[in-house]
Amino acid sequence: MQNIEGQVQSEMFAKMFMAAPKVEMKELNNLFFELCYKACNLKCKHCYIEKNPYKQEKDFIPVEKIKAALLQTKSEKLSSIYLTGGEPLMHPDFNTILRMCLKFSNVTVMSNGYLINDKKARFLRKIDDENNFETIYRISIDHFDELKNDEIRGRGSFRKAMSAILNLAKYEFNPIISVCNYYQESQKDLFEGFYALFKKYNFEIENINLKIMPYFEKNTNCEPIESFDFDVEKLDCYNSRILSANGVYSCPALSNDFRARSGSDMSNYSKRTFLDTNICAKCIKHFSKNQVNDWM
């Protein structure tokens, strides 16, 4: 009986993977490091990471794992490294990790800005000036209206993020505002709202300064991927991988999800991935590159 059940399950998995479109990576251009998974100082409504609301978890990736990955990908054509989380600046060795990564590529730090005060921004400028590569900071604000943003991200998050952006601009960084379009407004309205907001502070944003991502409801289904006409080369998984404490995954939004697992480390990871999840379908339907910077 067990053999029959096992055979049925094998056939089901085979059919699933045969039906799912696949993406073959040609070269690795974008390498994400998930410095922590659940360690974060916010509890945003749209976050896809399930966290314990009563416990601050500390699940930081070891520095040695990142160092090994950088050496293992030295021959790859990296154009950018991304430090993400959780909240990456909560990693106790964040400064060390940033310095290591800047020896190999430009680095984008994806942060909520809570820990970037004037002193920290000045120190980050010092790190940037020590290296030939550039650091880009992507700070999350989900609406130009303070109340609407704080409804999503928590009370006080708007002012903390604004402070971080202005501190970074003060020390000659050109931060990107990362927006999850929770209220499903037009990109035109969002750009105009943020433009007017930052103009008050003499920081005139351009299209390059605004990264708008669609809001994906966690538990809603999407149409079958086969119903969409899409170009795989425009997807993040075509030239990106993310390394977490648990291994390598094909998509930052599917980090630590067994369906997107590509290997245990960057020395021998799979360059093939199957678009067989609900997140894949939503990504294809609503957007192209959700995670990498728009000019990449």
| 11 is a domain residue | no
164 CB neighbour count, 10 Å cutoff: 26
> Which pLDDT band, with edges at 50, 70 and 90, does 196 fall under?
very high
pLDDT > 90? residue 230? no
The domain of 53 spans 23-286
Closest alpha carbon to 19 in 280, 295, 193, 235 = 280
Per the CB < 8 A criterion, the answer to whether 119 and 167 are in contact is no
Q: Calculate ∠ Cα 235-241-244, nearest 5°.
A: 135
| 295 is a domain residue | no
* pLDDT digits 0-9 by tens, 150-165: 999 999 999 999 999 9
Supply the pLDDT for residue 238. 94
> Which pLDDT band, with edges at 50, 70 and 90, does 197 fall under?
very high
Total of domains in the chain: 1
* pLDDT digits 0-9 by tens, 2-42: 455 555 455 454 444 456 788 999 999 999 999 998 888 87
Residue 133 CA to chain centroid, in angstroms? 20
Supply the pLDDT for residue 17. 46
Q: What percent of the chain has pLDDT over 90?
A: 67
| 293 is a domain residue | no
| 17 is a domain residue | no
Per the CB < 8 A criterion, the answer to whether 202 and 129 are in contact is no
Residue 159 CA to chain centroid, in angstroms? 22
| 13 is a domain residue | no
Measured between alpha carbons, how far is 110 from 29 in angstroms, rounded to an integer? 17
- DSSP one-letter code for 264: S
Measured between alpha carbons, how far is 233 from 220 in angstroms, rounded to an integer? 26
Mean pLDDT calculated for residue range 215-239: 75
Q: Which string of DSSP letters, residue by residue, matches 21-79?
A: -EEE-S---EEEEESBSS--S---TT--S---TT-----BPPHHHHHHHHHHTTTS---
Supply the pLDDT for residue 48. 72
Per the CB < 8 A criterion, the answer to whether 29 and 296 are in contact is yes
Residue 100 CA to chain centroid, in angstroms? 19
| 79 is a domain residue | yes
Measured between alpha carbons, how far is 220 from 235 in angstroms, rounded to an integer? 21
| 96 is a domain residue | yes
* pLDDT digits 0-9 by tens, 248-279: 999 998 999 999 999 999 999 999 999 988 88
| 67 is a domain residue | yes
Largest distance between two CA atoms of the chain: 72
Q: Which string of DSSP letters, residue by residue, matches 103-130?
A: TTS-EEEEE-STT--HHHHHHHHHHHHT
Measured between alpha carbons, how far is 263 from 259 in angstroms, rounded to an integer? 11
User: Residue 132 is part of a domain; what is its CATH number?
Assistant: 3.20.20.70
> Which pLDDT band, with edges at 50, 70 and 90, does 280 fall under?
confident
Lowest model confidence (mean pLDDT) among 69-78, 171-180, 210-219: 210-219
3-state SS assignment for residue 172: coil
Strands 135-140 and 107-111: parallel
Mean pLDDT of the chain: 88
